[in-house]
A and B are shown apart, each in its own frame.
Chain A
Amino acid sequence: AQSVAQPEDQVNVAEGNPLTVKCTYSVSGNPYLFWYVQYPNRGLQFLLKYITGDNLVKGSYGFEAEFNKSQTSFHLKKPSALVSDSALYFCAVIGNTPLVFGKGTRLSVIA
Chain B
Amino acid sequence: DTAVSQTPKYLVTQMGNDKSIKCEQNLGHDTMYWYKQDSKKFLKIMFSYNNKELIINETVPNRFSPKSPDKAHLNLHINSLELGDSAVYFCASSQDLPTGGRGNQPQHFGDGTRLSIL
Contact = CB atoms under 8 A, between A and B. Distances in A.
Interface residues of A, number: 23
Contact of A97 (B42, B99, B109): B99
Given A43-B90, A96-B100, A101 B43 contact: yes
Given A41-B111, A43-B109, A88-B41, A98 B99 contact: yes
Interface in B99-118: 99-100, 103-104, 106-112
Contacts of B109: 36, 43-45
A43 B4 contact: yes
Interface residues of B, number: 23
Contacts of B104: 32, 49, 51, 94
Contacts of B92: 43-44
Nearest to A44: B109
A75 B61 CA distance: 35
Contacts of A98: 45, 48, 56, 98-99, 103
A55 B8 CA distance: 41
A55 B112 CA distance: 33
A41 B41 CA distance: 12
Contact of B41 (A49, A51, A103): A103
B74 to A, nearest CB: 14
